[in-house]
Amino acid sequence: MRARLLFVTCSVILVFIVGVTRPLYNWDMVGYVASAYSADGYRGAELTKQTYGAIRGDVDNATFQRLTQDGTYEESVSRYSSALAQQLPFYSVRVAYVELMRALKPFGVSYTRATYLISACFAALSLILLDAILAAAGISFIAFPVIAIAAGFAHLARLSTPDALTCFFSLWATYCLLSKQRMVFVAAALLPLMRTDAVILSALITIYTFRQGQRLLSCLSLLGAVTSYVLINRWHGSYGLLGVFNFYFFTMSPFPAQMPISHHLADYLPPYLQNLRDLLVEPGPQTLIYLLALYAVIAHRDEARKFTGLHVLLTVPACFILMRLLAFPNYEERFFVFPASMILAGTIGILAKAAQSARTSETETA
């Protein structure tokens, strides 16, 4: 028990240190810093000045040049205040992340540093929940380092995005499901505050609890999640799924408020085909996790059916991946650390049961 606690503690500290000392300074940082200053009341040229002034004070010259001059898009956003303002609806909808950034400012943490400090903190805390989930599901602790490395928690800690925060709340909801705590309804309702697309997971969780007989609380939780989703998008002037789709796959315009929206269905098929090709032709660690899970479920059907965490650790995360990719066919590993980690945990649980059944059969035969 002490060895387990020591190992988890060291892992948490290590992931936090990696996140804080080796941030990636991805371009999303610009959007989130600008969203925080916008929430403070800055507009127009002053918003641009505050945003890029804060970033310049925290990064080296090469990084600043990459964020402001590496391509027409980045250069236009840094040069034209109207372009920066039009990026805000993509980022300000991550309400909890932006507000956490603002909450750290009185403690002397700049918005730039807050973007990756939050990620480092919640990626590290996610490991504690991962350990709790393994214990609740009766899965050997040996799986912990395998899952932590393969799913990509350390990478998540280095990003200036709300993905680590979303992962933490998703794991919390999963733990509550496994341990049958009513806090699962609170967690499901809060998920859209982390990332609006997490409403998909809210729906899947509440569908599961509804089928388990907790109908009123499930409906109330889903209603809260959907209401949050709608209000956040309207309040922050979201471009909507169609707008985001056209921006990311077709135009990447620095002025998205003026971008044309395609109304030809045939235009929307190539991104799906390209995403499928990328997953199959150049599989990453998470893709290999899914292939291993598919093998385990098919090859050990009986053990899979008997595995108590089958739906929580495999069905719900798998459905989330499919629905998320159907809505937006862009597989970036940072979006799927949570489902990948849960699916790998469930897979290890099934394989462990299969191995145990095989040993029992050999003993009875002997």
Estimate the crossing angle of helix 72-79 against helix 81-91, to 10 degrees. 110
Q: What is the pLDDT of residues 144-191, one digit of tens each?
A: 999 999 999 999 999 999 999 999 999 999 999 999 999 999 999 999
pTM: 0.94
Lowest mean pLDDT segment, chosen from 1-15, 30-44, 154-168: 1-15
- Percent of the chain surpassing pLDDT 70: 98
pLDDT in tens, 262-293: 999 999 999 999 999 999 888 889 999 999 99
pLDDT in tens, 291-308: 999 999 999 988 888 888
CA 362 to chain centre: 43
Other beta carbons within 10 angstroms of residue 363's beta carbon come to 8
DSSP secondary structure string for all residues of 305-332 = HH-TTHIIIIIHHHHHHHHHHHHS----
CB atoms within 10 A of CB 249: 19
Is the pLDDT at 194 greater than 70? The verdict is yes
- pLDDT tens sequence across 117-151: 999 999 999 999 999 999 999 998 999 999 999 99
Tokens 């800690």 belong to which residue? Answer: 157
**Chain-centroid distance, C-alpha 224:** 20
Q: What span, in angstroms and rounded, lies between the C-alpha atoms of 331 and 249? A: 13
pLDDT confidence tier of residue 90, bands split at 50, 70 and 90: very high
The HSE-up count of residue 84 (CA atoms within 13 Å, CB side) is 30
Distance CA 100, CA 39 (A): 12
Give the three-state DSSP class for 60.
coil
Helices (H), 236-268: 240-246
pLDDT given for residue 362 in this prediction? 65
Nearest to 198 by CA among 156, 175, 168: 168
Distance CA 81, CA 51 (A): 10
**pLDDT tens, position by position, 224-275:** 999 999 999 999 999 999 999 999 999 889 999 999 999 999 999 999 999 9
